[in-house]
């Protein structure tokens, strides 16, 4: 009987070894047996692109696998799959496009990029017949994007609402339940790895807006970018606001709310006409 070990390994390149990247590398190393059995082939780490070779990391990476040449890594012939977890727009976009052009499938957690320029990536993947997966871009541990895209493909979704930003949820909860100050709670969220590299993205609502745009695009088969989303952060929320909410039996939360409006209502969008809806 053929086992996963008899199959050619799938070679994985990881771009970025921060909070998320280090855990991807750890999983590839610690759970290689389980992953191989589930996938049907061993997953092998081909390389990890980092900014600095000598930086402290949460995971041990064999030095021979580290490189500061991310462009070179995604263009290598022996790489099958690229995991982009450096974040931001550039060079993440160019690296993903190059990886696809070089025949790799791509997994990215980059909601900022997807919300700004997802169609360019989806079209590029479609053109070369490669996969582009991004489940971790919204509500990391909760499978939400694939169910919206596939399980609910035949349904008419009219509303998506939820807490989609962990950092603000953590801060608001600490302010409410432990009486923490905003700055102190933010620092703790950063230490725990919840916050974006620039936490302004979290506390001013940019991260939630990007996630709302991705959710709305999938749920309503439409094109919504982060710039289309009304955004409010939590930096003005005070202890007095918390107390008022509590007195009303409520809590303060940062929500992403996406609603489909009737077509002739002001602000309503038409479904996206071409074949470039998020896949």
Ligand X SMILES: N[C@@H](CCO)C(=O)O
Ligand Y SMILES: NC(=O)c1ccc[n+]([C@@H]2O[C@H](COP(=O)([O-])OP(=O)(O)OC[C@H]3O[C@@H](n4cnc5c(N)ncnc54)[C@H](O)[C@@H]3O)[C@@H](O)[C@H]2O)c1
Q: Which residues sit at the interface with ligand X, rule CB under 6 A?
A: 140, 165-167, 194-196, 202, 207
In the complex, least distance from residue 126 CB atom to ligand X, rounded to whole angstroms:
25
List the structure tokens of 40.
């049907």
Per the CB < 8 A criterion, the answer to whether 231 and 214 are in contact is: no
Q: Smallest gap, in angstroms, from Cβ of residue 168 to ligand Y?
A: 13
Adjacency order of strands within the sheet including 43-49: 66-67, 43-49, 10-15, 81-84, 105-108, 132-133
Residue 14 CA, chain-centre distance (Å), reads 14
Residue 166-205 contact track with ligand Y, rule CB under 6 A, x = bound: ---------------------------xx-xx--------
Q: At what angle do helices 111-128 and 206-219 cross, to 10 degrees?
A: 40
Instruction: Tell me if 242 contacts ligand Y by CB under 6 A.
Output: no
| Residues touching ligand Y, count (CB under 6 A) | 24
Taking the least distance from each CB to ligand X, the nearer of 47 and 166 is 166
Question: Does residue 211 have an active-site annotation?
Answer: yes
Mark residues 7-46: x for contact with ligand Y by CB under 6 A, - for none.
Answer: --------xxxxxxx-------------------------
Instruction: Tell whether residue 206 is a contact of ligand Y (CB under 6 A).
Output: no
Task: Pick the closer one to ligand Y by CB: 176 or 196.
Answer: 196
The binder of 167, among ligand X, ligand Y, none, by C-beta within 5 to 8 A per type, is: ligand X
Residues 66-85 that bind ligand Y (CB under 6 A): 70, 85
* DSSP secondary structure letter of residue 78: T
Q: Is 87 in the site for ligand Y (CB under 6 A)?
A: yes
Whose tokens are 């809806």? That residue is 277
53 in contact with ligand Y (CB under 6 A): no
User: Quick one: DSSP state of residue 45?
Assistant: E
Q: Residue 270 Cβ, how far from ligand Y at the closest point, in Å?
A: 29
Residue entry with tokens 């955004």:
231
Q: Are strands 10-15 and 256-259 parallel, antiparallel or unpaired?
A: unpaired
Q: Which residues pair with 67 in a beta bridge?
A: 49
The contacts found for 25-29 with CB under 8 angstroms, 24 or more apart, are: 25/59, 25/61, 26/58, 26/59, 29/59
- Stated length of the chain: 279
Given 111, 127, 174, 211, the catalytic residue: 211
Applying CB under 6 A, the residues found at the interface with ligand Y are 15-21, 49-51, 70, 85-87, 91, 109-111, 136, 140, 193-194, 196-197
Active site residue ranges = 211
């Amino acid at each position: 009987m053929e086992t996963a070990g008899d199959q050619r390994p799938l070679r994985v390149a990881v771009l970025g070894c921060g909070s998320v990247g280090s855990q991807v590398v750890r999983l590839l190393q610690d759970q290689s047996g389980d992953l191989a059995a589930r996938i049907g082939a061993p997953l092998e780490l081909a390389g990890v692109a980092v900014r600095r070779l000598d930086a402290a990391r949460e995971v041990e990476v064999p030095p021979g696998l580290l490189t500061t040449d991310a462009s070179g890594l995604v263009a290598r012939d022996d790489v099958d799959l690229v995991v982009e977890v450096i974040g931001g727009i550039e060079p993440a976009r160019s690296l993903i496009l190059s990886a696809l052009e070089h025949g790799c499938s791509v997994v990215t957690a980059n909601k900022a990029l997807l919300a700004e320029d997802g169609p360019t990536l989806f079209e590029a993947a479609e053109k070369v017949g490669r996969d582009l997966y991004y489940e971790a871009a919204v509500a990391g541990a909760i499978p939400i994007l694939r169910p919206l895209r596939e399980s609910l493909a035949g349904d008419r979704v009219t509303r998506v609402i939820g807490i989609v930003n962990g950092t603000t949820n953590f801060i608001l909860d600490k302010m409410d339940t432990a009486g923490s100050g905003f700055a102190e709670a933010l620092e703790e969220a950063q230490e725990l790895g919840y916050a974006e590299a620039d936490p302004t993205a979290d506390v001013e609502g940019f991260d939630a807006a990007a996630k709302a745009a991705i959710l709305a695009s999938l749920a309503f088969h439409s094109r919504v970018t982060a710039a289309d989303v009304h955004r409010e952060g939590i930096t003005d929320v005070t202890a007095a606001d918390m107390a008022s909410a509590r007195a009303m039996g409520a809590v303060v939360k940062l929500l992403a709310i996406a609603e489909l409006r009737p077509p002739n209502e002001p602000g309503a969008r038409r479904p996206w006409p071409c074949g470039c809806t998020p896949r």
